[in-house]
């Protein structure tokens, strides 16, 4: 229920006003950015929050809308960076996205600076987006322009996550997502244009089979094992140098409890918080079935506000006479 309920299209969910911008990418491809419509008090020096969504998701997801709304209430700028071919648009190149594609995040953050945004940069990633964010942070280390980051319900080990989705009730989510992935692939390719084995892809019954048939060959990996080995974010946690909060739940159907990293696998900049309950990007912590209360927006914003306050204190201390 923690996993399913937040995904329902309930009418009272926040609907922050956004506008669409197409982002031209260096390799000739394009993706979409949904920007939070700016409040009058928002400036180029305001904090700017970048949200990365999950597998086959978009800026319309409940968790993205909640976080955009929370940013709006604080006078921050915010945007959802879509992964290629996700949401209600199509990218140009014969490829899509995967759990280790960090080049688009890196380019977008750099572009924000070159376009004149002077305020603190923050980022939050959910599920697959969390894996992408953590991998990027580990690759960039001290070169990242981010002040802080948060990652939620992250499949830190892609091997373990794909296996977990083939066990028990987790197969329900696997079947649901596989249907969506196959439909998405079918919108972009057909058996004559696909750069992979079409029949094998359409017959895939597990994430591992789909990644081996589609994700790996479409994005230059030898097979799904090569893809999982190179893109699991667990291997990048030790080199992260920006304050980073990871929030996972032990009852997440997309993974097993042993996916939680040991302390010696983390850099000093990484904090891992593990809840006994929360499902996959659920974390309902009160309220009623008609008006549930959600933990994630409150916790993520509190973490960012703490880091922003710390930065302001450091800047004040650095000014002579203060």
Which positions are annotated as active-site residues?
Answer: 127, 252, 280
- The closest of 127, 124, 130, 82 to 236, measured between CA atoms, is 130
Helix (H) or strand (E) holding 48: strand 48-52
Packing angle of the helix pair 295-318, 62-73 (nearest 10 deg): 40
Q: Which two tokens stand for residue 134?
A: 């953590």
Tokens of 237: 């946690």
Least Cα distance to 312 among 164, 115, 178, 120 occurs for 120
Location of structure tokens 């319309």: 60
Tokens standing for 295? 């933990």
The pair of three-digit structure tokens given for residue 230, joined into one six-digit string: 């190179």
**Short-list 298, 281, 286, CA closest to 69:** 298
Query: Can you tell me the distance from the alpha carbon of 6 to that of 312, in angstroms, rounded to the nearest whole number?
Result: 35
Q: What are phi and psi of 162, to 5 degrees?
A: -65, -35
């Amino acid at each position: 229920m923690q996993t399913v309920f937040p995904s329902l299209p309930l009418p009272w969910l926040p609907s922050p006003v956004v506008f669409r911008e197409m982002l031209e990418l260096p390799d000739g491809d394009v993706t979409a950015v949904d920007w939070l419509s700016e409040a009058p008090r928002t400036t180029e020096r305001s904090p700017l929050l970048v949200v990365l969504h999950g597998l086959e998701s978009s800026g319309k997801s409940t968790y993205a809308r909640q976080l955009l709304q929370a940013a709006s209430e604080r006078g921050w700028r915010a945007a959802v960076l879509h992964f290629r071919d996700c949401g209600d648009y199509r990218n140009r190149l014969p490829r899509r996205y995967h759990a280790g594609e960090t080049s688009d995040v890196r380019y977008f953050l750099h572009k924000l600076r070159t376009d004149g945004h002077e305020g603190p940069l923050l980022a939050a990633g959910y599920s697959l987006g969390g894996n992408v964010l953590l991998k990027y942070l580990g690759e960039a280390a001290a070169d990242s322009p981010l002040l802080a980051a948060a990652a939620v319900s992250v499949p830190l080990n892609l091997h373990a996550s794909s296996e977990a989705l083939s066990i028990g009730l987790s197969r329900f989510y696997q079947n649901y997502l596989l249907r969506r992935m196959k439909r998405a692939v079918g919108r972009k390719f057909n058996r004559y244009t696909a750069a992979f084995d079409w029949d094998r892809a359409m017959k895939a019954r597990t994430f591992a089979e789909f990644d081996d048939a589609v994700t790996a060959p479409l994005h230059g990996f030898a097979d799904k094992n090569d893809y999982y080995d190179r893109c699991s974010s667990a291997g990048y946690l030790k080199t992260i140098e920006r304050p980073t909060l990871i929030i996972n739940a032990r009852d997440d159907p997309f993974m097993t409890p042993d996916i939680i990293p040991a302390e010696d696998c983390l850099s000093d900049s990484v904090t891992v918080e593990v809840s006994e309950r929360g499902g996959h990007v659920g974390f309902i912590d009160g309220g009623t079935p008609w008006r549930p209360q959600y933990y994630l927006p409150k916790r993520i914003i509190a973490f960012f506000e703490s880091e922003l306050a710390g930065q302001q204190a450091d800047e004040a201390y650095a000014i002579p006479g203060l």
